[in-house]
Amino acid sequence: MLNTPVLDYLVHHTALAGRPGAGPALALSLVLVAIVCAFTGLCYAELASMIPIAGSAYTYTYATMGELVAWIIGWDLILEYAFSNMAVSVGFAEHAVGFLDWFGIHPNLRWISPAYLPSGLQDLQGNTLYASGWHFGFNIPAFLIVMLLTMVLVRGIRESAETNNVMVLLKIAAILLFVGVGAHFIHPTNWKPFYPNGWSGVLTGGSIIFFTYIGFDSVSTAAEECKNPQRDVPIGIIATLIICTILYIGVAVVLTGLIRWDALIDDAAPVVNTLKKIYLAHPSATLNWTRLAILIGAMLGMISSILVFQIGQARVWFAMSRDRLLPTVFSKVHPRFRTPAVATWVAGFVVGIPAGLLDIGTFSDLSNIGTLFAFVLVSAGVLILRYKDPGRRRGFRCPGGPVFPVLSILFCILLMAGLPIITWIRFFIWLAIGLVIYYFYSRKRSEFARAK
């Protein structure tokens, strides 16, 4: 149940946690997002249980709501998966640099930082290293990790339950280690004021940190495998969200107690950087080794996240190509490894190059709006299919009649409204590009067009 990408974000995406405000305000944002995810997850489970094959939201909508809606959600999933992994790879790069720093290795700053830094770049003492804006450089570690894992995926990789369980335990251990050690250095004054940005900050914070919950919906796709899906699916989704939310609140409250919340903004590795600041102020072997353990745990978590979402993104490219909505080259299978090699390589470069150029905040906001939009469509799909096809077999039915799907739609739109206007503009541009491609290319070549 805990084998979801959610846990991977708890360690390394607390950079986004600084935006809502102090620890208590952030905790409310996390609870708000968890509630929204619970509504959406139950809707997702009903839709997944209606389709007798494993797959993403694209597969479900294509089979139930038609080609145009499937294209929109497939195009949207490409945005979600790609920008999620861009952000994760930037976070990995920052932790890899911290790992080298632990051993006294300091690469040239130009090749370990993004070319675009909207807030500039400062060292731990607050000295400006780069002014805000563009500079000549490229985040090589972010690019390399994506391309290395792309090579692994092209050759083929098999996940095992045992390996996943070990990875999850290591990640939880890293989180609990940070909470346990960091709690001894908390300064309660950092939590004041209680709501530095008011209730609007809580809502905006929920919109921004929604990124950290991406992956919870993977539980819902196992509805057909449950012995009693009507009981097991809600328990699985809600238990996953509760456990992850408690862990995340623990990290966020401790972190914002160690350092003021506004010092965390745009920091791609806030936990380990904060630990280093405390270590420099209070040198101790415990803090130093704790920092190393968290660095290793975070990097392992991020590697598994990148693998999962690169697989997911390549599968979307592959599925849309198989349905002739994208060029057939993307559905070609490697003759030896039997993997969608072209789709995997394209997905790798689509993620790797921007990851070397841009910062973590830009990626996370676009991933948020893409995910929320996909969840709106999934929830709406549940309502539409209950009306159009009430007799279809459902392995799981979302309880409460239309209440949960409607609440899911309303809350997702509310969270989308909390995102910056520039994110909306970029999102609409992305959708417009997708619709142009569909109108002039995909709809003329699709399976539906051939049937006509």
Main-chain dihedrals φ then ψ at residue 149, nearest 5 degrees:
-70, -30
Record the tokens describing residue 66, joined without a space: 């038609």
Q: What is the pLDDT of residue 345?
A: 94
pLDDT of residue 143: 95
Contact 416, 372 (CB under 8 A): yes
- Ramachandran assignment for 54, one of left (phi > 0), alpha (psi -120 to 50 degrees), beta (any other): beta
- pLDDT at res. 410: 93
The predicted pLDDT at position 452 comes to 54
Amino acid in position 341:
A
State both tokens at 302: 């991020």
Q: Which helix (H) or strand (E) holds 130?
A: strand 128-130
State which H helix or E strand residue 117 sits in: strand 116-117
The pLDDT assigned to 38 comes to 84
Which residues are registered as beta bridge partners of 130?
A: 121
Where exactly are the structural domains of the chain?
6-450
What superfamily does domain 6-450 belong to in CATH?
Amino acid/polyamine transporter I (1.20.1740.10)
> Residue 327: is the preceding peptide bond cis (ω within 30°)?
no
Structure tokens at 273: 């950087």
Containing 133, the helix (H) or strand (E) segment is: strand 133-134
Q: What pLDDT sits at residue 25?
A: 64
Question: Among residues 439, 424, 451, which one has the least CA distance to residue 368?
Answer: 424
- Which pLDDT does position 164 carry in this prediction? 64
pLDDT at res. 428: 93
DSSP 68-106: HHHHHHHHHHHHHHHHHHHHHHHHHHHHHHHHHHHTT--
Residue 4 to residues 173, 240, 330, 350, Cα–Cα distance (Å): 16, 9, 27, 23
Euclidean distance between CA atoms 191 and 304, whole angstroms: 33
Q: What is the pLDDT of residue 15?
A: 39
Name the nearest CA neighbour of 71 among 446, 389, 349. Answer: 446
- Please choose, from the candidates 31, 29, 33, 55, the residue with its C-alpha nearest in 3D space to the C-alpha of residue 44: 55
Q: Is residue 225 packed enough to be buried (19+ CB in 10 Å), middle (13-18) or exposed (0-12)?
A: exposed
pLDDT of residue 229: 67
Low-confidence residues in the chain, pLDDT < 70: 1-26, 51-56, 64, 124-125, 157-164, 195, 197-198, 211, 214-226, 229-230, 233, 265-268, 360-362, 447-452
Q: Mapping DSSP to helix (H, G, I), strand (E, B) and coil, where does residue 266 land? A: coil
**Residue 243 neighbours by CB under 8 Å, 6+ apart:** 1, 2
In whole angstroms, give the CA distance from residue 360 to residue 89: 9
- Whether 99 and 295 have beta carbons less than 8 Å apart is answered as yes
In this structure, what token pair is assigned to residue 261?
């919340």
The closest of 445, 443, 450, 451 to 67, measured between CA atoms, is: 443
Q: What pLDDT is recorded for position 9? A: 40
Show the CA angle centred on residue 37, arms to residues 34 and 39, nearest 5°: 115
Which pLDDT score, from 0 to 100, does residue 405 have? Answer: 93
